[in-house]
Structures are given as C-alpha cells and as structure tokens.
Amino acid sequence: MIGAGITPEREVLVVELLIKVLVNAAALWAAVQLIPQITFNYGQDWWKLLVVALIFALINTYLKPIVKALSFPISLLTLGLIGFVINAAMLLLTAALSDQFKLGFKVGGFPPSITADAIVGAVKAARSPVVLAVHSGAGVPGYAASDRVPDRIATMVYVDTAPATGAIDPEFTGVEKPKPSNQELAESENLTGLTDEQMETFQRRAVPEPGAALRDAPVLTNPARLQVPSTVICTGFSSEQYKEAAKEGYPWLGGLNEVSDITYVDLPTSHWPMWSRPKELAAIIGEIATARVS
C-alpha cells in the first residue's frame, strides 16, 4: 500500500535506489577483499558500508550521466577510453566524500598495470605512432606501455624520470602517501626556478600519491621495448647524475641500462620544468617529435 503523498512513480524510484544501495554495498565489500588499493575500516559499524554505498549510488545516478554526456566528444576520440577515467573518478569522489564524513572508505589509487592500460588505450586511439612523454612517477607505467605497444610509439620522452624496471618504493605499505609540505619538498626535490606563487598553486592542487604507484613494479615481457628510441630530459638532476645512479642499480632507473637508443638532454631547473621552464621544455619535445615522427 502506498503511503499518503507518495506517488507510485516515487515509490518505484525509492525501491530502485534501495536496490542500487544493496548492490553497491555488495560490490564495495567484494572490491575491498580483492583489490589491495581499496580499504574500508568500518569495523562493526556495518551501517557505514550502506552509507558509502548510498553515496556511490547517488554519484552514479545523478553525476556520472552528466559527466559522460559532457565527455562524449572525448569518448569518440579515445574510442571509449574516457569511460575508464570516469569510472575511476566516480570511485575516487566517493572515497573523498567518505573521508569528509569519517566513514573509513579509501582508494589508494590504481597499480601501474591499470595505469598502463589507460596509456595504451590512448596510444592505440591515435592514427599513427605517437611521441609518449611521461614525467616523474609516470616513468613506471610509461615504460610498461612501451612494452605492450612498442610499434605504436615513435619515441619515448622521460621528463626528469626514466624507464623503470622495478617499483619506486617497494617497502611502502600505506594506502597513499600524504602530499609533502613546501619545506619537505625543498629538502627532497630541486625547486630551482619555481616562484612562491607557483608553490602556493602546487599546494592547492596537489593530492596524496597513491600507494600502489609507489610499491608496484611494471610488468615487462616484450624485448621490443628495448628498441624504442628514448630521450631523457634531465632537469632536477644532470645527465651525468642520471647515468651514475643507473649504474648503481636503482630500479626506477633500470631501463637506462637496457634500452638501446637513449639520448640525454640537460635542462637545469626544477623537477617540474613545465612550470619553471615551460617554453624550453616545449621546444625540446617539439624538436624530438619533428625528428622522430615522419
């Protein structure tokens, strides 16, 4: 029997929402059991699972269709790859809202293998071999992508990073690594050329680093990756420092010892040359593209 003031249409909507919540609750529970990057410490408070499932259901019901509609042109260009990004974004948004309400649901990012899948999808969507440029921690999934589709990559460009053969920090056990303060950055990274305003912008935009991106190693099985021409643009460290460190056996530099065609370009500046020397960086990548892509 329908209560006073509740129309049949509204009753159907309520029932559908309840079903979505229960289905999402089961899916979230399964994801927590199967995916190390997803954690949910709700203890005996099972109601938290239902609340997070409700948040996820509302996001997928009302926000996701809008985002998909707005991204439709991009979906055509990427052959549907953007769908993966949207799904991941909805899950991350759910985790962010959960954190605001202290519900305990966390997503620590996605392992390099999944990130590499996204890169490979974008590369395959291009009509011709591409210039694939990666920066910093993206050296891990970037090198993995060159292992999967070496014939679709005209050249690799590593911006203050290198082709990694192992995990950046295999001992890291957290879900995510908190973003560093400016003082911590100054102690660990080269900040040459960055203004105070840029550092303030960095703090506003920066997010914690997913733990999986630090502790997971790339899957490398195709020797053809060794023949992909590669350029390392050295900014925070000099090319000589990169070469010496590679000889010492650091896994995040391992590819420097095995790729057959590597060119080093020195561009002394910060770890973020796209901020501190953007014109020079763009010119270098442009020259590489002109020389490699015919």
CATH number of 127-292: 3.40.50.1820
> What was the pLDDT predicted at 41?
81
DSSP string for the chain: -PPTT--HHHHHHHHHHHHHHHHHHHHHHHHHHH-TTEEE--TT-HHHHHHHHHHHHHIIIIIHHHHHHHTHHHHHHTTTHHHHHHHHHHHHHHHHHHHHTT--EEE----HHHHHHHHHHHHHHSSS-EEEEEEGGGHHHHHHHHHH-GGGEEEEEEES----SS-S-TT--SSEEPPPPHHHHHHHS--TT--HHHHHHHHHH--PEEHHHHHPPPP---GGGGGS-EEEEESSS-HHHHHHHHHTT-GGGGGGGT-S-EEEEE--S-S-HHHHSHHHHHHHHHHHHHHH--
> What was the pLDDT predicted at 109?
61
> What was the pLDDT predicted at 113?
60
> What was the pLDDT predicted at 1?
42
> What was the pLDDT predicted at 74?
62
pTM over 0.85: no
CATH 3.40.50.1820 residue ranges of the chain are 127-292
> What was the pLDDT predicted at 76?
56
Per-residue pLDDT of the chain (294 residues; tens, 9 = 90+): 445 556 777 777 778 878 888 888 888 888 788 766 678 887 788 889 899 999 988 998 888 888 888 877 666 555 455 666 777 778 888 888 888 888 888 876 666 666 677 778 778 877 789 999 999 988 999 999 999 999 999 999 999 999 999 999 989 887 778 888 888 988 888 899 999 999 999 888 887 787 777 888 888 999 999 999 999 999 999 999 999 999 999 999 999 999 999 999 999 999 999 999 999 999 999 999 999 876
> What was the pLDDT predicted at 281?
96
